[in-house]
Amino acid sequence: MSAVTHAIVLIKAAHDSLDGLGEVLADVDGVAEAYSVTGEWDFVAMVRVSETERLADVVAAGLAKLPGIERTHTMVAFEVYSKHDLESMFSIGE
């Protein structure tokens, strides 16, 4: 069983590209979710890939090259913790 690589990608977009960009981000293969956010960054994309090598394809060849994307900042997760996963593990048999 191969481990899934998780990454959080912060995205700065051109002001005139904000409308509709969230849906475009979410449609990129490897992007599990895309969020519009407040603050310095405009979007956060949650990336999940089955092979670490695919991360470069998703971020550099996919997200960063989309029209309207000014810059990205990628953080690769070492470990993933999820309350949802823990709850489902302890609810077996209920």
Band the pLDDT of 1: cuts 50, 70, 90. very low
Instruction: Identify the residue with better confidence: 44 or 81.
Output: 44
pLDDT at 3: 82
User: 82: Cβ–Cβ under 8 A, 6 or more apart, which residues?
Assistant: none
Domain residue spans of the chain: 5-90
pLDDT digits (tens, 9 = 90+) for 23-33: 999 999 999 99
Check pLDDT > 60 for residue 78: yes
Residue 27's φ and ψ, nearest 5 degrees, are: -85, -10
Q: Is the pTM of this model over 0.75?
A: yes
Q: Domain 5-90 adopts which CATH fold?
A: Alpha-Beta Plaits (3.30.70)
